Amino acid sequence: MYRSFARSKAHALGLVGTARNLPDGTVEIIAQGEKEKLEKFIVHLQEGSIFSRVDNVEVLWREPSADFEDFRILL
């Protein structure tokens, strides 16, 4: 549910990128957009949905290395 929650919030903010589950049970999210919108997105990710448990959100700021057309959930 967390990946769907992230996709919904990203779409609402006009962000693009990906979300995927990692083998250790964490979720990796790559997002691109305006810094102000990304900061709002991070707040949403820290809160999570009512169906998710968020223990920690680690944020790494980088220069874009790929072009995304939308926000997708990867399997």
**Positions marked catalytic:** 3, 21
d(CA 7, CA 70) in angstroms, rounded, equals 9
* DSSP annotation string for 40-74: HHHHHHHH--TT--------------S--SSEEE-
Q: What are phi and psi of 46, to 5 degrees?
A: -65, -35
